[in-house]
Structure 1
Amino acid sequence: MMPQWTTNSQVPLSEFSTQRALEQVKNISKEPHFVGSGNHEYVANYLVKELQKMGLETSVQEGFSFSDWGTLTKCKNILARIKGTDSEKALLLLSHYDSAPHSASHGASDAGSGVATILESVRAFVYNKKPHKNDIIILFSDGEELGLNGAALFVTEHHWAKEVGLVLNFEARGSSGPSYMLMETNGGNAALIKDFVAANPKYPVTNSLMYSIYKMLPNDTDLTVFRKNGNVQGYNFAFIDGHYNYHTAQDDINHLSTNTLAHQGTYLMPLLDYFSNADLKTTETKNDDVYFTIPYTLVSYPFDWVLPMVIIAFGLFIILIFVGIAKRILSFKEIAKGFIPLFGSIIISGLITFFGWKGLLIIYPQYNDLLNGFTYNGHDYIAAFVLLSLAICFAFYQIFSAKKVTMNHYIAP
């Protein structure tokens, strides 16, 4: 699902280097740098210098922004632009540089990792001096943690905002694990999926179920502002494992996974090469695709195929049942009995898991203090409850299958 990085990796200047990106994270996340702190100004100045070091003309956008969250914030957005040869729409690379204000977060993952990914990718891109059609805008936004204020300031007040055709946004809601690709669209996703496949990132991790759930959640990123206020769509890239470090003092360089940082780089480099020359006016569509990833590959097909596929599958299922009955392998009586272990195991597993967790919160009341509701040994609990559910399932089938499990028992599930 993701690259395995080692310190022995020797990467030429023409390529993305996780080691160099990690050095950027280290410099950005030495101390908490929330809006209004002394270190916030230090990080802003550092980013300006790093962009200038690449030979890029930088600018700073300052102003007040009132967010949907009810916060009025003075923001300081850091901007740079790489001119293309024939640009009609610009590609925008986006991440925020402020850290969470309500904790001693150093902002290494959220979102120092995103800023570092962009800095190192842009450095490699500029070093290669490849001709490209589209302008590339780099935006390190401010005030994201207070209400997406910096992004709102850019979209509503900066004259570059109307030129943006697509956004690549790098975020974090944890400190490790694979980076998932999520989209923000006002219409369908088919065109964005087609372009993503064409860009061919090496380790794609995503699926359309995640996309559907994400659209129903209240979670917002800077990219949401571009979609809602500017009708500009794009891609989010974010990792969510190590969730207990999110917005805490443990969001520092020591808890950021180097494999995760490397994964972010494997997204941006090919996407930057592709979208710097793609037609950014063709990303809008009303059609949706169903999609999912297997190692190294993204599989997609039109959403319109779903109903015919379900009908065909259901038809084949019914035919196979009647063939089984005709051959006396199946019987309606035994098929009906097969629903008892199925629903029994599901209901009992669900109840034991639900109330089992409630019991653990009584035994260990300190779990209630965890900001994100996920314990440090949460993966162990998941494994334990999964194994317990399997044991319950096996027990039900052992009790209700008489002598042995037969084909009849497979019909219900």
Structure 2
Amino acid sequence: MPTYQSDSDKTETEFSIDRAADHVKIISQKPHFVSSKAHEEVRLYILDELKKLGLEVETQDGFVRSEWTSLTKAKNILARRKGTESGKALLLLTHYDSNPHSSLGASDAGSGVGVILEGLRAFLAKNASQKNDLLVLISDAEELGLNGAELFVNKHPWAKNIGLVLNFEARGSGGASYMLIETNGGNQNMIKAFADAKTPFPVSNSLVYSIYKMLPNDTDLTVFREQGNIDGFNFAFIDDHYDYHTVLDSFENLDKNTLAHQGSYLTSLLSYFSNADLSNLKSQQDDIYFNSPMGFVHYPFSWNLPLLIITSL
């Protein structure tokens, strides 16, 4: 896991933790739950920042029935940069609404917004084209039942050509960010691609993945998998979980080491998957995988029995 050091003087083409943190600080000044004045202020701020990057920016409004059986109007924020080829698109995903009614939403999910805005800025500053369409969804009404994600997956034309989603979330205020897969099939091709991207600080293992699949901890990415058959990676941190969905989810309590970890995932994976073939990530086979001092290790699940026999000799 990276260690935070002040880096506001980094070059324009490098990801800066301080610059990402500046976004989080602005976003998390007040609770910004759906329908609040601060919610609209945050929405306009994000729209303005995406426009500054020169992206094609639009909004998507629509009513979705929430998990509380009431109708919710979600106001999604969308952006796109066209690729040079006509393959599957890469989507960067997080949400901008905070939990009703006291949460300041710094970690959940202001951190995701800050990391995506800064990661995009550094990526675009290189003035290099990418093969795949690059999409951004800063969803709304996630806290009311993943409503913005549902609206996008079922109602927006961009959703029809997505090959992979990178989703940034939080269930606390610090600690390592864990990679968790969402797929309807096997994970083998996705794990191989993740390894090939060479993220500098991977934290994940297949045991956590197996446990995660049994828990009711849905994210926006769950909607993509269940309603769109679209695969993706979650990146989420869970330490200091008592801050989650409370007024303690503040900028002051957000661990900048954690913000740096989220940024390390985004920069390496954005660089890799924006030019990778996203049409061949589905698989029927699983890999066993884990991080170690030697790096990210993975091997086919079918090796388990032979390895068990060998180690027992």
Q: Which residue in 1 is equivalent to 2:213?
A: 215
Q: Which residue in 2 is equivalent to 1:164?
A: 162
Secondary structure, counterpart of 1:50 in structure 2: helix
Cα distance between partner residues in 2 of 1:241 and 1:71? 32
Secondary structure, counterpart of 2:157 in structure 1: coil
Q: Which residue in 2 is equivalent to 1:18?
A: 17
Q: Is the 8 A contact 1:71 1:147 kept in 2?
A: no
Q: Which residue in 2 is equivalent to 1:50?
A: 49
Letter in structure 2 aligned against 1:181:
M
1:60-99 to 2 correspondences below 5 Å? 60-67=59-66, 70-99=69-98
Letter in structure 1 aligned against 2:36:
S
Secondary structure, counterpart of 1:229 in structure 2: helix
Q: Deviations along 1:6-53, whole A, 9 cap, x unmatched?
A: 226631110100000000000111100000111000000100000001
Q: Is the 8 A contact 1:22 1:116 kept in 2?
A: yes
Residues 1:276 and 2:274 aligned together: yes
Q: Is the 8 A contact 1:202 1:296 kept in 2?
A: no
* Aligned CA distance change for structure 1 residues 7 and 64 (closer, same or farther; 3 Å): same
Q: Which residue in 2 is equivalent to 1:249?
A: 247
- For structure 1, the 5+ residue unaligned runs are 317-413
Q: Is the 8 A contact 1:144 1:151 kept in 2?
A: yes
1:100-115 to 2 correspondences below 5 Å? 100-101=99-100, 103-115=101-113
TM-score (norm 1): 0.74
Letter in structure 1 aligned against 2:94:
S
Cα distance between partner residues in 2 of 1:213 and 1:155? 26
Cα distance between partner residues in 2 of 1:181 and 1:71? 33
Cα distance between partner residues in 2 of 1:108 and 1:34? 12
* Aligned CA distance change for structure 1 residues 71 and 302 (closer, same or farther; 3 Å): farther
Letter in structure 1 aligned against 2:219:
T
Q: Which residue in 2 is equivalent to 1:288?
A: 286
Task: Kindly indicate which of the two structures has a greater share of residues assigned to strand.
Answer: 2
How far the C-alpha of 1:308 sits from its partner, in A, is: 2.0
Flag as ranges the 4+ runs of structure 1 deviating above 6 A: none
Letter in structure 2 aligned against 1:3:
P
Q: Is the 8 A contact 2:74 2:148 kept in 1?
A: yes
- For structure 2, the 5+ residue unaligned runs are none
Residues 1:38 and 2:37 aligned together: yes
TM-score (norm 2): 0.98
Q: Which residue in 1 is equivalent to 2:131?
A: 133
Q: Residue 174 of structure 1 is aligned with which of 172, 175, 189?
A: 172
Root-mean-square deviation (CA), in Å?
A: 1.1
* Aligned CA distance change for structure 1 residues 60 and 197 (closer, same or farther; 3 Å): same
How far the C-alpha of 1:296 sits from its partner, in A, is: 6.3
How far the C-alpha of 1:310 sits from its partner, in A, is: 2.0
Q: Residue 312 of structure 1 is aligned with which of 295, 298, 310?
A: 310
How far the C-alpha of 1:309 sits from its partner, in A, is: 1.8
Name the % identity.
61
Q: Which residue in 2 is equivalent to 1:301?
A: 299
Give the number of the structure with larger relative contact order, counting CA–CA contacts within 8 Å between residues 6 or more apart: 2
Cα distance between partner residues in 2 of 1:26 and 1:53? 19
Q: Which residue in 1 is equivalent to 2:196?
A: 198
* Aligned CA distance change for structure 1 residues 80 and 9 (closer, same or farther; 3 Å): closer
How far the C-alpha of 1:311 sits from its partner, in A, is: 2.8
Task: Kindly indicate which of the two structures has a greater share of residues assigned to helix.
Answer: 1
Aligned residues: 313
Letter in structure 2 aligned against 1:95:
T
Q: Which residue in 2 is equivalent to 1:361?
A: none
Whichever of the two has the greater Rg, that structure is 1
Q: Is the 8 A contact 1:71 1:146 kept in 2?
A: no
* Aligned CA distance change for structure 1 residues 68 and 87 (closer, same or farther; 3 Å): farther
Give the stretch that moved more between structures: 113-122 or 5-14: 5-14
Cα distance between partner residues in 1 of 2:234 and 2:115? 13
